[in-house]
Amino acid sequence: MGRILLYIDLFEKQAFCAGSTINGKVVLQLEKAKMVDKINVTFSGRAYIFVSEFEQELKKEKCSHIDSDQENLVDFTTTVWSGSNQQFLDAGRHTFPFSIEIPHSLPSSFLCENLKGCHIAYGLKATVVRPKKKDQSTEIPVSVSNIVDVGHSSFVNPQCVSSTKEKCSLFKCFSNNGHIAMAITTNHCGYCVGDSVIISADIENHTNSKVSSLQTTLMRNVMHKDHVHKKYCTILETAEDNKIWTKKMLQIPSTSPSITDCHLVKVTYELKVKLRMTNKSKLTVSLPITIGSAKEESSDDGYSEQCNLVTRYPSNDTLLSVSSTECLLD
């Protein structure tokens, strides 16, 4: 018997832009010479959802069964060493470099904190294939971020949405005469983590009640395609004021970018502004916004700047851990 140490060593951090290249090496440490057919490196990723009956009941979902689904996003294997000419590897340390290009079309990594069975995850796996022996492998997670450039002209323009309630129609919940109208304006349609959303509210109150407060909430919606539980909302940031708003600011907290290019899981954001009256009536408007992973920068190396911005976002400690496998072989 002899001890073998197998691990993957990446030349860079374990967070990558879609379309970039993963460069690394497989390291194999042998106590004794071993027969090896080949050594493979596999880059794979999948979107996965699993919602237990308990979670369905907790979320008040009308679904009585355990619901799960998955979608394979990528599965690419490359051989970094083949023993077709020399099956024996000598005792000692062996390194096998590899380079894998990440497809541009991959959605960003994602882990839903309040729904553990919902994620988009990627990983690298090194496998030692030996004749008449069980394969030995080790795997590490990697984080992939698709570029969502909110510096594009379609995201930098202001947006406005308005809502009006009349006493004789939808506004009949107000006992006072007249109507109330609210128009909400934001400075942009797209933001990055750390950016400030500048919000202004224009209110026309033709009732006998007074406006008691305005509240804005940034909502993240995780939608599962073709499932009953289509929407999970998380209050990420809330700001309140009892006055009419003019250029109030709400900062985008640390969160994943918008994901709209995955068939199974989609992540979108919206701002909800709720107006409360002294008679306890309410008026709510919603504005969809995009959370991006990069902004166009005036730099000599724009792509490098984008990658630096991307790595700030969908990162979890587990995605940046080092993994290795040590095992005994005959």
Tens digit of pLDDT for each residue in 166-182? 553 333 344 445 788 88
Q: Supply 158's token pair.
A: 């202001």
Query: What is the DSSP-derived secondary structure letter of residue 116?
Result: T
Please write the tens of the pLDDT for every residue from 243-285. Answer: 557 788 888 988 889 999 888 888 899 998 888 888 888 888 8
- What is the band of 230 on the pLDDT scale with cuts at 50, 70, 90? very low
Q: What is the pLDDT of residues 113-168, one digit of tens each?
A: 666 668 899 999 999 998 888 889 999 999 998 888 888 778 888 888 877 665 53
Contacts of 140 (CB under 8 A, 6+ apart): 8, 10, 14, 123, 124, 321, 322, 323
pLDDT at site 120: 93
pLDDT of 243: 55
Out of 3.20.20.70, 3.40.630.10, 3.10.129.10, 2.60.40.640, select the CATH number for domain 2-147+300-329: 2.60.40.640
The DSSP call for residue 311 is: T
Task: Supply the pLDDT for residue 116.
Answer: 61
Q: Are 252 and 192 in contact (CB under 8 A)?
A: yes
Closest to 81 measured CA to CA, from 44, 35, 128, 43:
128
* Long-range CB contact pairs, 52-60, < 8 A, 24+: 52/117, 55/115, 55/117, 56/229, 59/229, 59/232
Q: Is the dihedral of CA 223, 154, 194, 246 positive or negative?
A: negative
- The pLDDT, as a whole number, for residue 306 is 40
pLDDT at 16 > cutoff 60: yes
Span 22-50, average pLDDT = 91
- Give pLDDT, residue 279: 82
Most confident of 43-52, 59-68, 162-171, 256-265: 256-265
- Residue range 6-34: mean pLDDT, rounded: 89
| pLDDT at site 138 | 93
Cα torsion 54, 57, 59, 61: sign: positive
Specify the CATH class of 153-291 in words: mainly beta
Which residue is listed with tokens 């009640």? 209
> Does residue 320 sit in helix, strand or coil?
helix
Place of tokens 């000598």: 90
As a whole number, the mean pLDDT across the chain is 77
Say how far apart CA 131 and CA 38 lie, in whole Å.
9
Domains 2-147+300-329 and 153-291 share a fold: yes
User: What pLDDT is recorded for position 100?
Assistant: 94
The fraction of the chain above a pLDDT of 90, given in percent, is 27
CA–CA–CA angle 145, 147, 149 (5° rounding): 145
Asked if 221 and 232 count as a contact pair (C-beta separation under 8 A), the reply is yes
pLDDT at 72: 93
pLDDT for position 13: 78
- The more confidently predicted of residues 48 and 177 is 48
Per-domain residue ranges of the chain: 2-147+300-329, 153-291
> CA end-to-end span of the chain, whole Å?
4
The per-residue b/e assignment along 222-236, b for 16 or more CB within 10 angstroms, e otherwise, is bbbeeeebeebeeeb
Tell me the pLDDT band of 226, cut-offs 50, 70 and 90.
Answer: low
**Cα–Cα distance, 202 to 275 (Å, whole number):** 11
Residue 212 pLDDT: 81
Predicted pLDDT of residue 321: 36
**Joined tokens for residue 216:** 């804005």
